[in-house]
Structure formats: C-alpha cells, structure tokens
C-alpha cells in the first residue's frame, strides 16, 4: 500500500455558465499522506471547497471534472461507478461541513440519524449494536451517552459540530475532509474542536484535509499547507516553511495581513485589488495584477509549480533562475 491515501493529479473542474466557463480548479496536483493534516487555504472563490467536494464526487452539475484523476488508495474516484461512490462516502472518506444545523435533520433524534447512517452502509446491523457503536463514538468525542437521545436543537453549537464529526467517523473512514468546520463556532469552542481533531487523528490515524480561510487555525494543526489562488495551487509545503519562509508573493501577503496576537504589529500587509473573474482570468500568473513584484514574464506565461529548498513548491517566476533562499 502506498504511503499516500489520496493523490490528486492534474485535476481540473469546470462550471459551464451562460457567459462562458468558470474553471474553478485548474491543473491541481496534491497528495495526502497517512495520518497527516493538510491545510487548504485561500480566499472565497479560490476553488478550495470545490476541490474538497470533488474528492467525494460531490461537485454539482453543471460542474464537472473535466480532467485529471483523484486516486483514493490508487483507485480513481472520478471513474468509479455510483454504487462504489456511495460506499466511499462515509465508509472511507467523511466530510464535515461548515454549518451543522443545516447538515443535521431537525426532526429526528440523533440516535435515529446515527442508525440511518450505519444501516446505509451495513444493512444487516442490529439496532442495539448500532446504538452502542454510536455511544462509543460519542464518548470519544467527550459527549455524554444520553445526549444521543436528544434532538439537534437541544445541543449547543460546539456539540452539534462534534456530532457531525461523530457521524462522519461512525463507519471508521481513514480520510476526513473538513470544510470550514469551525466558522460558526466561538473561539474557545473552536480551540476545543481543534484539540479533538488532533486527538482523533492520533487515535484513528486519520488523514485530514482542513479547508479554511483562517490561517491561524491551520497553523495550529496542519503538517502541510497548500495555498490556492484563483483555482490553482500557488504554493505548498510544510507548515513551518509556509509560515516562516513563504515564497509566493500571494502567500506572503496572505500571512502578513492576518492580525497576530503574539506580535505587536504596527501595520498589516495589504493587498489591493480583488481575486480575478474566473471566466476570463488574467493571462500568465493569475496573481500578477495584484502582485507587488510582477515582471514582464508574469503577464505572458503561467509559472509552473517548482520544488525549492525543504521540499516546498511554489509557482512563481521570481525563483526561476535562482535557488529560493531559505
């Protein structure tokens, strides 16, 4: 078995709309190792959520995967028949969304929602067995067993989000994709959720993709970080390299513009302009209209992702002819 649980190769996702085609994800290649937390960061509209959805083949029509492969343990998800996809979702790869209230059914008690999930994948299971499995998961999440017999509205926001991850984990997947899982949570509850993810990762040797715009959150937990801009990965590498030696000017801007409570910042880095229109993206490097260091070549030709010191990869012409300084 390869060390990579998930490998995405040259993935391109298109959304045809009336005025053209939105290329939400373009030629993205990235892999996820066993037991690793990968932070996928970028601003809204950069394609990070679409990328997350595509791993479970959840991209809604008219959106479609128009190129590339998504390999889960070597098998291509994009080419899988629907029946196998249904097994993949939940049993192998779980997804946790932003708002637990819209993901839980308000009309049913949690035990029924757990039961339904388990039966979907394991139709012959006895009710008692399913319930005791659900209770075990709840305990590992730090929720009292009796809460299983309550309705979603009876739980606090943080508890609901833990239930969501519990529903995701009940079939023992090895990959979790968490799309902005803490956006609706308060800071203390958010920190608790991060502790929980860390614990679950060790306990179940989970591989996690954390999709977020919150750079602080990613710094707390991710082993590696991928930065997306306008549908492309502009930089990827180990978390400490990305935060301490960002190469791409977009990454530098993104990190510099976040208030840091441990520092006394005089001024934040500001990036003018807006992310581009993806129907008619700029030629060459898509960041060049906002880039403080744009050169001639940036307007003409898109830079490839090249490997630099420490295994960090960046797509920027600045480092074309010289080795990126550490």
Partner 1 sequence: MSVLFNVESLTKEFPVHTSLVDMLFAGRHRPVVHAVDDISFEVRKGEVLGLAGESGSGKSTTGRLLLRLIDPTGGRISYHGEDMVRISRRRLEALRARLQIVFQDPNSSLSPRMSVGQAIGHPLKIHGLAAAAGRKERILDLMEKVGLTPAEFLYRKYPHQLSGGQCQRVVLARALVTNPEFIVADEPIAMADVSVRALILELMKQLKAEFDLTYLFITHDLATAKYLCDRIAIMYLGRIVEVGSRDELFSRPHHPYTRALLEAVPVPDPDKRRTAEVVRGEIPSAIEPPAGCHFHPRCKFAMPRCREGRPPLKEVAPDHFSACLLD
Asked if residue 254 lies in contact with residue 215, where contact means CB atoms within 8 angstroms, the answer is yes
Among 75, 87, 116, 268, binds partner 1 (CB under 8 A): 268
Distance of alpha carbon 105 from alpha carbon 10, whole angstroms: 37
Using only the alpha carbons of the chain, give its radius of gyration.
21
CA distances from 238 to 11, 120, 121, 212, 223 (A): 22, 38, 36, 17, 6
Among 171, 255, 278, 305, binds partner 1 (CB under 8 A): 255
Is residue 18 involved in binding partner 1 (CB under 8 A)? no
Least Å distance, CB 1 to partner 1, is 29
Is residue 157 involved in binding partner 1 (CB under 8 A)? yes
Tell me the number of residues near partner 1 by CB under 8 A.
45
- Is 46 or 94 the residue whose CB approaches partner 1 more closely? 46
| Residue ranges with strand state E in the chain | 4-17, 20-33, 37-41, 64-72, 75-76, 93-96, 175-179, 207-212, 224-229, 232-238, 306-307, 313-314
Applying CB under 8 A, which part among 60-68, 89-97, 129-137, 271-279 lies near partner 1? 271-279
Strand order in the sheet with 4-17: 20-33, 4-17, 64-72, 75-76
Is residue 62 involved in binding partner 1 (CB under 8 A)? no
Among 187, 321, 323, 325, binds partner 1 (CB under 8 A): 187
Asked if residue 222 lies in contact with residue 210, where contact means CB atoms within 8 angstroms, the answer is yes
- Is 51 or 271 the residue whose CB approaches partner 1 more closely? 271
Is residue 153 involved in binding partner 1 (CB under 8 A)? no
Q: Residue 325 corresponds to which tokens in the numbers above?
A: 């300084």
Applying CB under 8 A, which part among 62-70, 93-101, 219-227, 313-321 lies near partner 1? 219-227
Count Cβ atoms below 10 Å from residue 100 Cβ, excluding itself. 23
Is residue 152 involved in binding partner 1 (CB under 8 A)? no
Least Å distance, CB 314 to partner 1, is 18
Put residue 158 in one of left, alpha, beta given phi > 0 → left and psi -120 to 50 → alpha: alpha
Is residue 139 involved in binding partner 1 (CB under 8 A)? no
- Is 108 or 243 the residue whose CB approaches partner 1 more closely? 243
Asked if residue 27 lies in contact with residue 12, where contact means CB atoms within 8 angstroms, the answer is yes
Is residue 240 involved in binding partner 1 (CB under 8 A)? yes
Applying CB under 8 A, which part among 56-64, 155-163, 202-210, 305-313 lies near partner 1? 155-163
- Is 55 or 271 the residue whose CB approaches partner 1 more closely? 271
Among 271, 278, 291, 318, binds partner 1 (CB under 8 A): 271
Strand partners, 30: 8
Least Å distance, CB 307 to partner 1, is 20
Least Å distance, CB 187 to partner 1, is 5
The H-assigned helical ranges of 62-150 are 82-87, 100-103, 110-121, 127-140
- Residues 6 or more apart whose Cβ sits within 8 Å of residue 279: 17, 19, 20, 21, 22
Is residue 79 involved in binding partner 1 (CB under 8 A)? no
Among 151, 214, 289, 319, binds partner 1 (CB under 8 A): 214
Q: C-alpha angle 239/242/245, rounded to 5°?
A: 130
Least Å distance, CB 238 to partner 1, is 9
Q: Which residues bind partner 1 (CB under 8 A)?
A: 43-44, 156-159, 186-192, 194-195, 213-220, 222, 239-240, 243-244, 253-255, 257-262, 265, 267-272, 274
């Amino acid at each position: 078995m390869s060390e990579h649980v998930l490998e995405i190769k040259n993935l391109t996702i298109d959304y045809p709309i009336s005025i053209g085609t939105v290329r939400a994800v373009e030629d993205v290649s990235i892999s996820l190792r066993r037991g690793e937390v990968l932070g996928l960061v970028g601003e809204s509209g950069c394609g990070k959520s679409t990328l997350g959805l595509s791993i479970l083949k959840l991209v809604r029509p008219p959106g479609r995967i128009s190129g590339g492969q998504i390999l889960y343990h070597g098998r291509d998800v994009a080419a899988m028949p629907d029946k196998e996809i249904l097994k993949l979702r939940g049993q192998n790869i779980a997804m946790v969304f932003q708002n637990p209230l819209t993901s839980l059914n308000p009309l049913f008690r949690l035990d029924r929602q757990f039961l339904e999930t388990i039966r979907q994948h394991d139709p012959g299971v006895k009710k008692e067995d399913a319930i005791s499995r659900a209770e075990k998961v709840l305990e590992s999440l730090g929720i009292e067993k009796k809460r299983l017999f309550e309705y979603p509205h009876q739980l606090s926001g943080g508890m609901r989000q833990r239930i969501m991850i519990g529903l995701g984990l009940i079939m023992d997947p090895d990959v979790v994709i968490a799309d902005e899982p803490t956006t609706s949570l308060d800071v203390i509850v958010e920190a608790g959720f991060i502790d929980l993810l860390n614990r679950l990762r060790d306990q179940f040797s989970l591989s996690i993709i954390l999709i977020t715009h919150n750079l602080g959150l990613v710094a707390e937990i991710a082993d590696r970080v991928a930065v997306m801009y306008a549908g492309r990965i502009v930089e990827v590498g180990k978390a400490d390299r990305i935060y301490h030696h960002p190469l791409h000017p977009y990454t530098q801007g993104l990190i510099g513009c976040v208030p840091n409570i441990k520092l006394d910042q005089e001024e934040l880095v500001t990036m003018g302009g807006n992310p581009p229109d993806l129907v008619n993206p700029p030629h060459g490097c898509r960041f060049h209209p906002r880039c403080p260091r744009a050169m001639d070549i940036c307007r003409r030709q898109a830079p490839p992702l090249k490997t630099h010191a420490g295994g960090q990869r960046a797509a920027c012409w600045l480092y074309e002819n010289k080795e990126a300084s550490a």
